[in-house]
Amino acid sequence: VVDFVRTLSVVGAFKGSASGFDTQAFWRHSIASGVTAKLLLQRQEVSGKLNIGEEDPFMAGMVHDIGKQVLGYFYNEMGTMVYNVMRSGKTMYEVGQEILGITHADIGSALADKWQLPGSMIEVIGNHHSPMAQDRNDMVYLIHLADSCSKQVGFAFSEKKREASPNERVLEQLELDAEAVTTMFGEMESTIRTQVTDAFSAIVS
């Protein structure tokens, strides 16, 4: 119930539609990342290696890509330009850096700061594509993994396939290897799909 209310509040902050922006795919990916973050913390392979404390992994997963929503809704012309360039095979993060000089992670963390979200949440939004860019932040590691998992099980938004692989240094920090992570993601897929479908139907449709 708490997750439902929080999700509804985030979705409600962005009303209407924007040209060229797939709202449904965006929210499916966001919900999948939140669901996956919670499920990962229930896995023995992960839970004992992360210190999340009282922070909210579901909400961190929900808002990690909020900068994409801002770009698509309020700077639609720039967003459309980014999506067009992405067709060359580059990722949205790369295109933002090269074309705009600012990424959706930068935009999202600025919004999170304006919303006065906790510092750890701002770091998640700003660093989920570059999880080793700051001192160790276990929530950033968790959402980076959840983001990768949600893409691998079919809930990607605009990302290319190569973005679905977790950062190797994050895996080293958590004493995991790529094969074990792929197996773990596969075991979680059915549960993730069920929970995302139920949540999306109740909240967004």
Q: What is the mean pLDDT of the chain?
A: 84
- 60 confidence band (pLDDT: 50, 70, 90): very high
On whether the CB atoms of residues 168 and 181 are closer than 8 A, the answer is no
pLDDT at 17: 60
Q: Please state which of the ranges 60-64, 71-75, 183-187 shows the lowest mean pLDDT.
A: 71-75
Residue 107 pLDDT > 70: yes
Q: Can you read off the two tokens belonging to residue 18?
A: 């924007």
Q: How would residue 15 be classed by pLDDT, with cut points 50, 70 and 90? A: low
The answer on pLDDT for 7 being more than 70 is no
- Per-residue pLDDT at 68 exceeds 70: yes
Of 35-39, 101-105, 157-161, where does mean pLDDT reach its minimum?
A: 157-161
pLDDT of res. 185:
94
At 102 the pLDDT is 85
Is residue 108 scored above 80 in pLDDT? yes
Could you tell me what percent of the chain has a pLDDT over 90? 42
Contact criterion met (CB below 8 Å) for 34 and 62: yes
- Greater pLDDT, 112 or 13: 112
Given a cut of 70, is residue 48 above it in pLDDT? yes
CA angle, residues 17, 79, 112, in degrees to nearest 5: 80
